[in-house]
Amino acid sequence: MNTYVLVADSPAVSELVASAAKLGRPVVAVVVGPESVAKAVAAPGVDKVLWVSEAAGQAAEAFAPAVADLVAADPGVVFAGRKPAERVLLGAVAARLGAPVVAGATAVAAEGGTTVVTHGTYGGIAVATVAYDGPVVLVGDGGGALAGGGTAAIEAVAATPGPISVVSLAPSTVEAVDLAGAARVVSVGRGLKSADDLPLLAGLAKALGAELGCSRPVAESLEWLPKDHYVGISGQHIAPDFYLMVGISGQIQHMGGCRGAKLIVCINTDKDAPVMHQADYVLQGDLYDLVPAITAAV
């Protein structure tokens, strides 16, 4: 039985490969993308690479049925990241195998013929440990690039894409953010009055050498920041050394995404906000007074 890691376009899968290796079974990376990605993934920790090459004008999502067939030939535990194309691939694999999809796993182990997975539940306020007798798809943060030179065999796989094509391709005007890999993160919530005030938080984040995150409403309802900036159960799950929450009330939806942080500090005017009882350090006051003062001090 193999353990699979699904890769689409980017070789940033170090965390997924590390988790897959813990099961003690051969780790097979199924790569949809350029040959350079396949070579980067053929690193220590990966036993074999099945490479499905994209042609010009084709999207990784077009090969989802082919990827599902490759995994179904010798089904096992499947690991996949949260990027859009990877989520399409994992959905096709899960449907093909009739396998459950589990997000936010904190531990995984093989016990005989079963796979034991520990993950947060009820918004992160409880932990469930579940044994799966058959295939299961685990969704998590990919991590960074794999270290070391390529050692695994790369097998090119001929696959027929589905009726999906790339109509246009343009550079993003939004700067990419890596919250999962950041040692420090500053997140802002609805305590901020306007999107025009975001530079205030960006300045603090820069001074601290931190990435800028946010709560879900800031990204989805207000659209002040891109969706890959928001921390929460349905967003980014992070575990930085230092997490500063500014104007965030601390509801379960948000705290479920940052419980792994080693040190949590909050700035809030409301002494009764839930975050006041969950942070390690509390600064009760107006962010418009405190943030400039902290930035200047740093």
Note the pLDDT of residue 292: 97
Residue type, 89: L
Length of the chain: 298
pLDDT at res. 237: 84
Q: What torsion, rounded to 10 degrees, do the Cα atoms 53, 55, 59, 60 define? A: 0
Q: How far is Cα 143 from Cα 261, in angstroms, rounded to an integer?
A: 16
Q: Domain residues of the chain, as ranges?
A: 3-157, 184-297
pLDDT of 73 reads: 96
- Domain covering 184-297 assigned CATH 3.40.50.1220 in the classification: yes
Per-residue pLDDT of 30-85, as tens digits, reads 999 999 999 999 999 999 999 998 766 688 999 999 999 999 999 999 999 988 89
Contact 235, 226 (CB under 8 A): no
Per-residue burial over 143-170, b if 16 or more Cβ lie within 10 Å, else e, is beebeeebebebeebebebeeeeeeeee
* Alpha-carbon dihedral 177, 179, 180, 185, rounded to 10 degrees: 160
Superfamily of domain 3-157: HUPs (3.40.50.620)
Q: 180-195, pLDDT tens digit by residue?
A: 889 999 999 999 999 9
pLDDT tens, N- to C-terminus, the chain (298 residues)? 899 999 998 899 999 999 999 999 999 999 999 999 999 999 999 999 999 987 666 889 999 999 999 999 999 999 999 888 999 999 999 999 999 999 888 899 999 889 999 987 876 668 899 999 999 999 988 888 898 777 899 999 999 888 888 888 887 776 778 898 899 999 999 999 999 999 999 999 999 999 999 999 999 999 999 988 999 987 888 999 999 999 999 998 899 889 889 999 999 999 999 999 999 999 999 999 999 999 999 9
Q: What is the pTM of this model?
A: 0.78
The reply to whether 184-297 shares the fold of 3-157 is yes
Backbone torsion region of residue 269, taken as left when φ is above 0, otherwise alpha when ψ lies between -120 and 50, otherwise beta = alpha
DSSP string, 82-145: SSHHHHHHHHHHHHHHT--EEESEEEEEEETTEEEEEEEEGGGTEEEEEEESS--EEE----SP
DSSP letter string, 145-202: PPPS---SEEEEE-----S---------SSPP--STT-SEEEEE-TTS--GGGHHHHH
Cβ-count burial 173-195 (b if 16+ within 10 Å, e if not): eeeebebbbbebbbbbbbbbeee
